[in-house]
């Protein structure tokens, strides 16, 4: 297993200033392995909300938690939302007898009561699957995605088998455990159809019409996939210009390996011949850019039948624009020039899979994704 020292450092720093620290991210992304670096799994201070012994101890949660001191870990806490009010009381004690490291596979918005109970007390850290700087092998990472057991599999076949099982478990077990009563077959059909919209603007009515359900239901399904860290929505940025701008968000699968699984793409050879290769590259690049920059605000932007921008990040008051191209040598386009002018970008990078960095004009630079991510992460 790869070492994740930067995450360990982030957790240590967060525990130095916060009474409750939440590690949030999809299942199998490495949260449990990280937590065990701080508290051993056989410690009385470690609770796994899926383990029968931990559940038996938590039958009387106040009795189980009130007397503990030091760091207490609660793994898969989304399965026990009743614990959040108790954590609020325990974390407010003047003695600061205990701190809590909680692990969840869903966002606070999906875990009822979390945001209200621990508002102002909880610091969150997102634990993603492996990123490019961690694995340093772009082609394998792009094809297999970053889930540790998928990326580290001995063969492409083993990687595909793991991802198939992951998708099945997510639909048939993880979603129902969150109290969401949606047919796994319905959600699977929706998820598979969503793969064909990867990198495109979201149209709930269109997908709903294909599945025979309302646009409102489609938005509910999409929210579930976003709040369980499977899909990312990029809201549309609106600029006050005299043009008809796109208002619908763009959607991306957050892990390229899961995206490839839903499209039946088993390896790089199959990917290189697939019509969705460009869309796959765009989603992969967008996710790596966001992991690198960690901006507070992220958007897509476009004008109907006019210029567009794949990714707009606002960080420290600066507007950073990114266009993603799967080309050997991207050239300056009217769309790029228009986006630069209309959005008043402070910086504009064109991300591509090549090797050389070069400028298209004074402000637009073509940047190889692998070199840019790896060279500047050393």
* CATH code, domain with 57: 3.40.50.300
Are 136 and 116 part of one and the same domain?
no
Give the range of the structural domain holding residue 86, as residue numbers without chain letter. Answer: 5-126
With CA atoms as reference, report the closest residue to 79 among 60, 103, 46.
103
Are 360 and 306 part of one and the same domain?
yes
> CA 53, 54, 55 angle in degrees (round to 5)?
90
Are 193 and 329 part of one and the same domain?
yes
pLDDT of residue 109: 65
pLDDT of residue 187: 84
pLDDT of residue 54: 96
Measured between alpha carbons, how far is 60 from 155 in angstroms, rounded to an integer? 46
pLDDT of residue 79: 87
Task: Report yes or no: 321 and 312 within 8 Å, Cβ to Cβ.
Answer: yes
Are 117 and 155 part of one and the same domain?
no
Are 261 and 234 part of one and the same domain?
yes
Are 167 and 253 part of one and the same domain?
yes
Domain C-terminal end among 126, 146, 166 = 126
pLDDT of residue 113: 55
pLDDT of residue 103: 94
What residues have CB less than 8 Å from 223, skipping those under 6 apart? none
pLDDT of residue 111: 60
CA 293 to chain centre: 14
Are 214 and 271 part of one and the same domain?
yes
Domain C-terminal end among 126, 148, 166 = 126
- Indicate the number of domains in the chain: 2
Are 235 and 369 part of one and the same domain?
yes
Are 146 and 253 part of one and the same domain?
yes
Are 165 and 74 part of one and the same domain?
no
Q: Measure Cα distances from 26 to 143, 146, 182, 246 in Å.
A: 19, 11, 19, 30
Domain C-terminal end among 99, 126, 153 = 126
pLDDT of residue 352: 98
pLDDT of residue 115: 53
pTM assigned to the model: 0.91
Measured between alpha carbons, how far is 96 from 341 in angstroms, rounded to an integer? 53
CATH number for the domain spanning 280: value is 1.10.10.10
- Given a cut of 70, the residues of the chain with pLDDT beneath it are 1-2, 108-116, 241-242, 376-378
Are 227 and 331 part of one and the same domain?
yes
């Amino acid at each position: 297993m790869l070492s994740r020292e930067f995450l360990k450092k982030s957790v240590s720093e967060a525990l130095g200033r916060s009474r409750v620290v939440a590690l949030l991210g999809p299942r199998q992304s490495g949260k449990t392995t990280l937590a065990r670096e701080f508290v051993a799994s056989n410690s009385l201070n470690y609770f796994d909300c899926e383990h029968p012994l931990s559940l038996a101890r938590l039958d009387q949660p106040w009795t189980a938690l009130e007397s503990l001191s030091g760091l207490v870990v609660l793994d898969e806490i989304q399965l026990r939302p009743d614990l959040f009010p108790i954590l609020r009381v325990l974390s407010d004690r003047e003695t600061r007898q205990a701190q809590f490291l909680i692990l969840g596979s869903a966002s606070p918005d999906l875990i009822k009561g979390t945001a209200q109970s621990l508002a102002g007390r909880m610091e969150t850290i997102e634990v993603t699957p492996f990123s490019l700087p961690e694995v340093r092998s772009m082609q394998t990472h792009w094809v297999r995605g970053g889930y540790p057991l998928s990326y580290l599999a001995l063969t492409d076949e083993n990687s595909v088998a793991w991802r198939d099982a992951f998708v099945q478990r997510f639909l048939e077990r993880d979603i129902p455990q969150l109290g969401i009563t949606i047919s796994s077959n319905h959600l699977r059909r929706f998820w598979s159809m969503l793969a064909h919209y990867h990198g495109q603007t979201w149209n709930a009515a269109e997908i709903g019409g294909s599945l025979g359900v309302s646009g409102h239901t489609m938005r509910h399904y999409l929210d579930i996939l976003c709040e369980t860290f499977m899909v990312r929505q990029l809201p549309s940025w609106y600029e006050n210009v005299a043009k008809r701008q796109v208002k619908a968000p763009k959607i991306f699968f957050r892990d390229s390996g899961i995206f490839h699984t839903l499209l039946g793409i088993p390896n790089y050879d199959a990917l290189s011949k697939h019509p969705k290769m460009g869309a796959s590259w765009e989603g992969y690049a967008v996710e790596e850019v966001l992991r690198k920059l960690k901006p507070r605000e992220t958007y897509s932007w476009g004008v109907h039948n006019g210029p567009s921008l794949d990714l707009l990040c606002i960080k420290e008051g600066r507007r950073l624009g990114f266009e993603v191209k799967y080309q050997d040598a991207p050239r300056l386009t009217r769309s790029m020039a228009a986006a630069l002018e209309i959005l008043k970008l402070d910086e504009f990078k064109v991300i591509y899979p090549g090797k050389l960095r070069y400028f298209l004009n004074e402000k637009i630079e073509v940047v190889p994704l692998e070199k840019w991510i790896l060279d500047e992460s050393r």
